[in-house]
Structure 1
Amino acid sequence: MGASHHDETERKYDIDAATVFPNLAEAEGVDAVGQPVEHRLEAVYFDTSGLDLARRGVTLRRRTGGADEGWHLKLPAHGDTRTELHEPLGDEREVPESLGTRVRSVTRGRTLEPVATVRTNRREYPLHDPAGSVLALATDDSVQAQRLGDDREELVWREWEVELVDGSTELLDAVERRLLDAGATTAAVRSKLARVLGEPAAVTSPLESTDADDLTVRQLLSAQLGQHLERLLDQDAGVRAGRREAVHRVRIAARRLRSALTTFRPLLDTTVTDPVREELRWLGEEFAQARDAQVLREHLHEVLAAEPAELVVGSVQTRLDEELGAAYASGREAAERALDSDRYVRLLDCLEELVASPPLVADDDRVAADVMPGLLARDVKRLRRAVEAVEAAVDGADRDVAFHEARKKAKRLRYAAESAVPVLRKRARSLASDTKKVQETLGIHQDTVVARERLRELGMQAHLAGENAFTFGRLHALEQARADRAEADFAALWRKFAKKQVRRWER
């Protein structure tokens, strides 16, 4: 069985040793404060020798004492909320496999070992509503901590913490006001471990530290690859934490990385970068089924909800939920398997190497502002040729394929233009904005292609099962009408785009 998990929403506060804990029954939304409970907590934190988990805002510990003693893995925060996974105590030095797997994309085979010990004397106050339910737990912690493996002195401090149970963020705000009035300050570090190990040094991007007019091609490409790799790793954690939107965002990050390597391809050693591009394509494909099923199900639910009741007949809703729900579940399993694979770990290692040292074949220190116009013009030309193929296509299936190819070229151009904004500023921003409109319209068309194919399959299944397939046919017709509108919208957008952007970049 996998680790149990829950979302943990909490805030921490720094205080002096002599500060008196306030009466939180006076906080708005709190009816009463229960009797305090004393806990003696002892935790050993694990990380790699290079503190890879800490650098990514992940904590892994084995803690004894308290109601939830055991192994705890806390994944990166979103605001005040982190996802915490829990396993029973087990072996004191052997990290549970279910937790080790969750951080494999960070550790990548490096050994997890004890890096710090934290001992806490905790006084815990339950905050109740009028019905007696626990809204939050407020704690007063006296802490002793030691970093392992060096001769640093033991750290001693006191802190307050408030964790939501059944309360709201408004309750957190109200309690926080009382704590601040009592003399607390918002915690300077995000966790006890960060206080012991120190906050990871901020990595400064060349985009922040170098004047745009002086940025080299190497610096710009490295910064773009690094930015998208960070997003990939952030969304990797989101997928592992069960966040639905993270599936789509992993695909976007992978697509942007591949697009950057494609746009800069004329300047790169392709024997190094082309295999990485193909691996990024593989990663995107592994996530495609889950995302396509998710988007289609949500869209068709909206369409069905807008239909008159008398036009929704048969088992259409049930079939959509069962078939697309199963497709999403199967696709998500495939995505998670991909993230747990050795192939994905090797891809991350390759990407880190590209960020550190982009394999440019020559002139790697040319000013990016001088080079990017030519690269963008190349992608503009690719899009123009793809649109010409759309205009030449007559057969419906061939036309759908041509539209899809044009969409991919538009997406690549948009990403390329966005990557050039730091050095080309307004020109690149204008190109990115106009291309995004073209891409989104072509995206709607492709969505209808996928929807029509799936609706035809579901309609045939319903018919063969002796069910009324009328509504599936109607939905198919509505999607065809949506495709026709998208084609008309695209034609109008393209006329404007060709006049404004194609002429500008290809002259």
Structure 2
Amino acid sequence: MSSKAKLTKLTEIERKFSVPSPSAEPSFDGLTGIARADRDEPVTMEATYYDTADLDLLQHRITLRRRVGGSDEAWHLKLPQAAGSRSEVHAPLSDDLPAELRSLVAAIVRDRELTPLATLHTSRTVTHIVSDEGAIVAEFADDEVVGVDLRTAPDAEIIWHEWEVELIGTTDQDLLERLCRRLTDAGAQPSTYPAKLVHVVGSPPDRSTYADPTVEALARLTDDLVERDRWVRENRPDGVHQMRVTSRRIRSLLRSHPALLELPGGEHLESELRELAATLGVARDAEVLAKRYQQALAALPPELIRGRASERLVANSKAAYTRGLRRAVRALDSERYFQLLDGLDALAGAAADGDFSAAASVAHARHKLRKAAKKARKEPSDVHFHSVRKKAKQLRYVAEAAGRPTLAKRAKAIQTLLGDHQDSVVSRAHLLETADKAAAAGEDTFTYGLLWQRDAQEAEDLEQQLPHALRRLNKVGR
């Protein structure tokens, strides 16, 4: 495969319509804010779509194609986004799929081969919708399509006519609705196919659902983990954090149900999830510190920021995040990680006919939290407060899976409270270490001491709030 392809990302907001043949083109005359509609000459495009043998991409509402012809010939990866829109990633046209594009779907494809699924030959005529200000704000595409399913019917053609309208450089939903009305006025109907590819190969079977809420939660969280994988690879804000949280949710679910751990591979998966969370934690911890110190220093008068505090605390933490992110992505490209995902899928299948008592798991998690809280009351320490946080987090995740939203909300309040407390613990240790390095370099260490004291005060304030949060949780019925 090619390497170092430059990816281009954009958001696609479009609607598709089925059109009876023959049909008259819609008119865009008289639309408020629209000056004219400029029609291009027809172009011919050929697209080859790729997927695994089990249609894993299509199952996740993702399409991958290599398009030749037209103004955007390239490799196209279309990813689901918010309702009514998709994220589209382009890579320069090449014979082989660029590694950077495959990486974005690696958690779905894993080590499976991507092979040609279908071809679409499209004769397209584009009309540019131009605003009163002279900007192209939408495109209307009149498509005559010939599709071939390369796997099941390589000698048969499926022919249809469709229209598309897409916003360009705007998210104006009112404009989109007005344009769509012009299409329906001309006899078109909203397409029942979410993508041209589905018109050719059909919709893949729906994801399996499970009667037991614990098994359903396991399957849903595995899907979430796969989605968050792409967030990390794209370096989205909070992406590392969300993937780490999801891995911990799955691990808490396994640890709270011994019967799941006893299934083949259960204990190994729990261990692998712990390792994954630790790998992601390197980048996440650095990300938290960088944001924390950036905000703390911004709140200080300039005269209180001494020496190289900003560089050592903020810049160095950001650099540590970048290194941690690269390490995380390497782990996500490993065979070990793909085996973890395969194992989670297999575990849900193996547990499909099981009966995992959600009530018993919730009761057990509450008992563990009470024990940890009791110990923290008798022997207050950072270690014991952190233990309470972990038990509250486990209770929250189990309660969510069991359909106990109020209990989950109260447990989350404790988790958040003591999560902030733990952040202050980690920060103070980092401040002391950094201050020692600064002192050794002959720098002023005043700022580090000031921030340390503020963190210590924050921790004390949070500890005072814990009893109230625990009482609120205890009021929730068993």
The answer to whether TM tops 0.5 is: yes
Q: Which amino acid aligns with 2:342?
A: D
The change in CA–CA distance for 1:177 and 1:482 in structure 2 (over 3 A counts) is: farther
Look up the match of 1:376: 362
Shift of 1:320: 4.1
2:152 maps to amino acid = D
SS at match of 2:402: helix
Residue 162 (structure 2) aligned to one of 159, 162, 174: 159
2:60 matches 1:60: no
1:263 is matched with 256
Q: What do the CA deviations read for 1:177-210 (whole angstroms, capped 9, x no partner)?
A: 4444444443322211122121223235235xxx
Distance in structure 2 (CA, Å) of the matches to 1:37 and 1:391: 77
What secondary structure does 2:265 align onto? Answer: helix
The aligned residue for residue 140 of structure 1 is: 142
For structure 1, list consecutive stretches of 5 or more residues without a partner in the other structure. 208-218, 422-427
Counterpart pick for 1:198 among 191, 198, 202: 202
Mapping 1:245-260, distance limit 5 Å: 245-260=238-253
Q: 1:413 aligns with which of 392, 395, 399?
A: 395
1:453 matched to which residue of 2? 429
1:75 counterpart SS class: strand
Match of 1:474 in 2: 450
Mapped to 2, the partners of 1:459 and 1:129 lie a distance apart of 59
Candidates 404, 415, 418, aligned match of 2:386: 404
Superposition map of 1:329-348 within 5 A: 329-348=322-341
Q: 1:22 aligns with which of 20, 23, 26?
A: 26
> What CA distance in whole angstroms lies between the structure 1 residues aligned with 2:141 and 2:410?
53
Q: CA deviation at 1:319?
A: 4.3
**Is 2:8 aligned against 1:5?**
yes
Number of paired residues? 472
CA distance in 2, matches of 1:173, 1:292: 45
- Per the alignment, residue 386 of structure 1 pairs with 372
Q: Distance in 2 between matches of 1:454 and 1:8?
A: 40
Deviation readout 1:426-483 (Å, 9 max, x if unpaired): xx33322221221111111112112223333444445555554433332222222211
Which of 41, 47, 50 in structure 1 is aligned with 2:54?
Answer: 50
Q: Which ranges of structure 2 fall in alignment gaps of 5 or more residues?
A: none
Q: 1: distance between equivalents of 2:409 and 2:205?
A: 34
Matched with 1:85 is 89
Q: For 1:471-498, what per-residue CA distance to the aligned partner results, in whole angstroms no more than 9, with x for missing partners?
A: 3332222222211111011122224444
SS at match of 1:154: strand
CA gap of 1:14–1:495, structure 2 versus 1, over 3 A, is: closer
**2:408 corresponds to which residue?**
432
Q: Deviations over 1:367-399 (max 9, x none)?
A: x5xx333322221221122223323435xxxx2
Q: Is the 8 A contact 1:75 1:237 kept in 2?
A: no
TM-score of the pair, normalised by structure 2: 0.89
The 5-angstrom pairing of residues 106-185 of structure 1 reads: 106-130=108-132, 132-151=134-153, 153-170=156-173, 171-185=175-189
Please, which moves more after superposition, 481-490 or 242-251?
242-251
Instruction: Kindly indicate whether the alpha-carbon contact (under 8 Å) linking 1:122 and 1:141 is maintained by their aligned counterparts in 2.
Output: yes
Q: Give, as a single letter, the amino acid of the residue that structure 2 aligns with 1:148.
A: L
**What amino acid maps onto 1:86 in structure 2?**
H
Q: Which amino acid aligns with 1:415?
A: Y
Distance apart, 1:333 and its partner CA: 1.3
Q: CA deviation at 1:356?
A: 0.4
Partner of residue 232, structure 2 = 239
The residue type paired with residue 382 of structure 2 is: D
In structure 2, C-alpha distance between the alignment counterparts of 1:447 and 1:263, rounded to whole Å: 26
| CA-CA distance at 1:332 after TM superposition | 1.6
Point out the structure with the larger helix share: 1
Alpha-carbon distance, 1:147 to partner: 0.8
Q: Which amino acid aligns with 1:446?
A: Q
Aligned-partner residue type, residue 328 of structure 1: Y
Query: For residue 488 of structure 1, what is the aligned residue in structure 2?
Result: 464
Paired residue for 1:296, among 289, 296, 319? 289
SS in 2 for 1:410: helix
1:31–1:458 distance in 2 versus 1, CA, 3 Å: farther
8 Å Cα contact 1:29-1:129 kept in structure 2: yes
| Contact 1:45–1:117 (8 Å) recurs in 2 | yes
| Range with bigger deviation, 125-134 or 98-107 | 125-134
Aligned to 1:211: none
Contact 2:37 2:130 in 1 (8 A): yes
Counterpart residue type for residue 392 of structure 2 = A
Counterpart secondary structure, 2:123 = strand
Q: Deviations over 1:337-388 (max 9, x none)?
A: 121110110001111110101299xxx45xx5xx333322221221122223
Structure 1 length as normaliser, TM-score? 0.84
Cross-structure match for 1:33: 37
**Equivalent pair of 1:268/1:359 in contact (CA under 8 Å):** no
Q: Distance in 2 between matches of 1:121 and 1:359?
A: 47
For 1:193 and 1:477, the matched residues in 2 are separated by 60
Question: By how many angstroms is 1:305 displaced?
Answer: 3.8
Separation of aligned partners in 1, 2:365 and 2:296: 36
- Residues 456, 53 of structure 1: CA spacing in aligned structure 2 closer, same or farther, 3 A cutoff? same
Contact preservation (8 Å) 2:260, 2:351: no
Deviations 1:237-265 (A, max 9, x none): 33334422332221122111111110101
RMSD after superposition: 2.8
Alpha-carbon shift at residue 405 of structure 1 (Å):
1.7
CA distance in 2, matches of 1:37, 1:450: 63
Q: CA deviation at 1:8?
A: 2.7
Amino acid at match of 1:261: L
- Work out whether residues 76 and 237 of structure 1, in 8 Å CA contact, stay in contact via their aligned partners in 2: no
